[in-house]
Amino acid sequence: MLAMTHGWVPFALVCVVFVAVTALVGRAAGLFAARPVLWAAVRAVVQLAVVSTVVAVVLASLPLSAGFLLLMAVVATVTAARRAKAARVLPVALAVLGGAVPALGLLLASGLVPPRGVAVVPLGGILIGGAMTATTLAARRALDVLEQRRGEYEAALALGFTEAEAARELVRLPAADALLPALDQTRTVGLVTLPGAFVGMVLGGAPAWEAGAVQLLVLLALLAVEAAAIAVVVELVARGAVRRTSQSSEVRLT
pLDDT, average across residues 142-161: 89
161/205: higher pLDDT: 161
Q: Is the pLDDT of residue 2 over 60?
A: no
Which of 168-172, 193-197, 247-251 is predicted most confidently?
168-172
Ramachandran region, residue 30 (left: φ > 0; alpha: ψ -120 to 50; beta: rest): left
- What lies within 8 Å, CB to CB, of 105 at 6+ separation is none
pLDDT, average across residues 75-87: 93
Written as one letter, the residue type at 115 is P
Q: What span, in angstroms and rounded, lies between the C-alpha atoms of 57 and 60?
A: 5
Q: Is the pTM of this model over 0.75?
A: yes
Predicted pLDDT of residue 202:
64
Predicted pLDDT of residue 105:
94
61/200: higher pLDDT: 61
Residue 201: band (very low, low, confident or very high) from pLDDT cuts 50, 70, 90: low
Q: Is the dihedral of CA 109, 114, 116, 117 positive or negative?
A: negative
Predicted pLDDT of residue 207:
76
49/248: higher pLDDT: 49
Identify any residues that bridge with 24 across adjacent strands, giving them in sequence order.
none
pLDDT, average across residues 117-122: 88
Query: What letters, b where the CB count within 10 A reaches 16 and e where it falls short, cover 168-184?
Result: bebbbebbbebbeebee
> Are 220 and 186 contacting, i.e. CB atoms less than 8 angstroms apart?
yes
What values do phi and psi take at 5, rounded to 5? -65, -25
Total number of residues shown for the chain: 254
209/74: higher pLDDT: 74
Q: Is the pLDDT of residue 251 over 50?
A: no
Q: What span, in angstroms and rounded, lies between the C-alpha atoms of 141 and 160?
A: 25
> Are 82 and 135 contacting, i.e. CB atoms less than 8 angstroms apart?
no
pLDDT, average across residues 87-115: 92
Secondary structure (DSSP) of 67-117: HHHHHHHHHHHHHHHHHHTBS-SHHHHHHHHHHHHHHHHHHHHHTSS-SSH
Predicted pLDDT of residue 117:
87
Q: What span, in angstroms and rounded, lies between the C-alpha atoms of 94 and 135?
A: 10
Predicted pLDDT of residue 10:
83
- What lies within 8 Å, CB to CB, of 240 at 6+ separation is 163, 164, 252, 253, 254
Percent of the chain predicted with pLDDT > 70:
88
Q: What span, in angstroms and rounded, lies between the C-alpha atoms of 58 and 213?
A: 26
Which of 57-66, 93-102, 146-155, 157-166 is predicted most confidently?
93-102
pLDDT, average across residues 68-91: 93
- What lies within 8 Å, CB to CB, of 85 at 6+ separation is 140, 143, 244, 245, 246
Give ∠ CA 87-39-14 in degrees, rounded to 5: 145
Predicted pLDDT of residue 118:
84
Residue 136: band (very low, low, confident or very high) from pLDDT cuts 50, 70, 90: very high
Predicted pLDDT of residue 229:
95
Q: Model confidence over 11-60: pLDDT tens digits?
A: 889 999 999 999 999 989 888 889 999 999 999 999 888 888 887 788 88
Q: What does the mean pLDDT of the chain come to?
A: 86
